[in-house]
Structure 1
Amino acid sequence: MPAQRMNILSIHAHFDDYEFTAAGTFEMWKRKLGRRLRAKVIVCTDGKAGHHFQTREETGRIRLQEQLASAKIGGYEFEPLRYPNGEVPREACLQVTTDLLAALWKAIRDFEPDYLFCPPLPAAALAGIHVDHVAVAEAVRKVAYMINVPHAFTPEFPADETKSKPCNVPVILNVYDGYMFGANSFDFTVDVEDAFPKIAEMAWCHQSQVREWLP
């Protein structure tokens, strides 16, 4: 009997979110399953906001290259989320719209993950939030039921009209969100100390953020 394969998917708002939330768990699974694991990261905004001296276009281009470098080190697939019209959502103003739900629906159905990791919804009224993180969290929650609903968003993706088939529905896990601090409680933790050097190497790819902006 052939060994069973597993698909895991991380959906986040920004370039560098994955490295600081789910990368360690992905790396531990990768070491355990080897080639039987297929891992993918989807970023839902264009990365053009948040740099002190680069232009928007330069910032977006640099951050895309940084994520691709991280993907090469981490051995995962990377894809920017695209609306039905082909555009990547704008950073800093992401909203839950039909186009965002449709884009997530298609991306999830195309990959068919066994486990899907995404940001959490705020757990307290006074929790710190980032508008893009909350939008991704809310959108994944709202589209979850529709993952296995044929034709739910074929008005946005007409080519999928002829591809109706049962779709694997993933277990959805919320990662820790540092913006929320203590308000974002957790149910369980994963010890990723053994993977920390790899996590640091991937995170260090994001020079435009960890050296040029955040300091």
Structure 2
Amino acid sequence: MSKRSSAKYKLDRRMGENVFGRPKSPVNRREYGPGQHGQRRKGKMSDFGLQLRAKQKLKGYYGDITEKQFKRTFFEASKMKGDASQNLIGLLERRLDMVVYRAKFAPTIWAARQLVSHGHIRVNGVKCNIASRRVNVGDLIELGSKAQEMALVLEAQSLAERDVPDYVVADGAAKVSFNRVPTLDEVPYPVRMEPNLVVEFYSR
């Protein structure tokens, strides 16, 4: 399981964007970096720099999954039929921890991963503790009875800044079904993601 090794808002500050759409993000107060040199004008970024930044932003958004895991997902997406960038987003959105996050069972992707690893999530009635497990279309994902009363889950379900997307269909407060694999346009990212640049980065 990938553990958050950096500070909560470090990715936001590094990218200069509110990557997770959190109301308390420091970027909401100021868009420049921290420290005395934070407001310096930045030079034009190279093509490689733009590609690397797009990869770091996408990888960070999905809970800072390991480079090895992310790269493996990309190569799998590139071997599938169709657009590699759309395939990559589809595979990332099918991760169990991400479906739990999209269903508003957890306030953050890291909390969703913790819920899964602690055995609070059932897929088609069977307990699953592997956050990277790939969910199939038609699968039912539900909260265990203990998890339904957890303060963390109740807090997540009351969050106003996030909506459950169309491809995750709620069946009551504790159960959702994964309706279809989404396209890039359907995924409710708070900031613009550029998976096409990620494809360019790995195709060099």
Length-normalised TM-score, structure 2: 0.24
Structure whose residues are more often strand by fraction: 1
Could you say which structure has the greater relative contact order, defined with CA pairs below 8 angstroms and 6 or more residues apart?
1
TM-score by length of 1: 0.24
